[in-house]
Amino acid sequence: SDGGKLLVVPMGGSHWLSMQSVVEKLAERGHEVVVVIPEVSWRLGTSQAYTVKTYPVSYTLEELDNSF
């Protein structure tokens, strides 16, 4: 199939761990993938396979750690 455009807005946590491999595979197959993530996160990060855009949040990584 022709590559399409895909916007992914993960909420973090364990679902992203399984979803990340699917997103990377779609990018490898020619899809243009943009992942939108908060600038403060435990597991979400950059990748060579897809474009990552960040958005500002009102908390720090330390505050995120302390909330759990």
Classify each residue of 28-66 as buried b or exposed e, where b means 16 or more C-beta atoms within 10 Å of its C-beta. eeebebebebbebbeebeeeebbeeeeeeeeeeeeeeee
CB-CB contact of 46 with 68 (8 Å): no
What whole-number distance in Å separates Cα of residue 1 and Cα of residue 10? 25
Neighbours of 22 (CB within 10 A): 10
Ordered per-residue pLDDT tens for the chain, 68 residues? 466 899 988 876 667 778 888 989 999 998 999 988 888 776 677 788 889 998 898 888 888 788 77
> Which H helix or E strand runs over 63?
helix 61-67
